[in-house]
Amino acid sequence: MFNNLAIIGTGLIGGSFSLCLKERGLVKHTIGVSRTQKSANKALELGIVDEILPLEEAVKKADLIYVAIPVDVTIPTMEKIMDIVTDKQIVVDAGSTKYALCSALANHTRRSRFVASHPMWGTEYSGPEAAVREAFTGRACVICEKEKSDKDALEAVEKIYRDLGMHIVYMDAAAHDIHAAYVSHISHITSFALANTVLEKEKEEDAIFELAGGGFESTVRLAKSNPAMWVPIFMQNKENILDVLNEHISQLRKFKASLEKENAEYLLELIENANKIRRIIK
């Protein structure tokens, strides 16, 4: 059990992490650090944190520091945090990109007190109101560069995530960003693009609301995600996302060509090949 947990970013991921640890009795006291007073007040009201403090005070008071903020501000924030922590504290991040952060902290004197993680869970909602007590269960958590973290720090973080019902996957930071581009980041771009397509072509909002079935809803759900979170992710993982985006555009062109040429056999082949995903995702 940790005496004091500092949550840097009290939104969906940080807020859920705090609630889950409190629910399981894994922490005695939680401290929030929030960018806005409104968010801080809501986190207190919802019981996500027990008090709000400025960054430096929160870090100095905490045993465990959990950083869950947009990736464009994670690096400068983490550099401030790592300059403060002692060899008795543990710092964990939850960012969707890992290479830039790990590279930025590679030579820091306290690098070994940091565990780079990415819990592969989330929803399209944001803010403290989106935090839930039963997050993470049954999902994967990626830990990067485990060999660069002190044994006690790594084991403590592994235990937390396993206590939350997650299974752990180990990767280097560059590999993580490649795989995240394929299984997460492209899904969001596709969803944003589909939403824009429908909004551009279908001018009657009532028709979208009335006729949109489960397939459309599930595909476009991610388009409701917070742009302040996703724009930095796309920019920071730009090269990997461009690679997968080029392949995705190529696949869309194949569907387009099969329809233009009325080639039902090729269309069937494309769909049957896509059906192979059943072997991987039930």
* CA-to-CA dists, residue 130 to 92, 98, 133, 145, 245, angstroms: 21, 24, 10, 30, 29
Contact 102/173 with Cβ under 8 angstroms?
Answer: yes
Torsion on CA atoms 87, 158, 163, 61, rounded to nearest 10: 20
Mean pLDDT over 80-108 rounds to 98
CA 44/CA 32 separation, integer angstroms:
8
CA 261/CA 69 separation, integer angstroms:
48
Identify the three-state secondary structure at position 275.
helix
Q: pLDDT tens across 131-175, in order? A: 999 899 999 999 999 999 999 999 999 999 999 999 999 999 999
Mean pLDDT over 238-264 rounds to 97
- Which two three-digit tokens encode residue 273? 């090949």
Triad 6, 7, 13: Cα angle to 5°: 155
Mean pLDDT over 110-127 rounds to 96
- Domains in the chain (CATH in brackets) are 2-172 (3.40.50.720), 176-279 (1.10.3660.10)
Q: What is the mean pLDDT of the chain?
A: 94
pLDDT over 70 (residue 51): yes
pLDDT over 90 (residue 281): no
What percentage of the chain carries pLDDT values higher than 90?
88
* CA-to-CA dists, residue 262 to 77, 179, 268, angstroms: 55, 35, 11
Mean pLDDT over 50-79 rounds to 98
- pLDDT confidence of residue 217: 79
- Which two three-digit tokens encode residue 38? 């409104």
pLDDT over 80 (residue 211): no
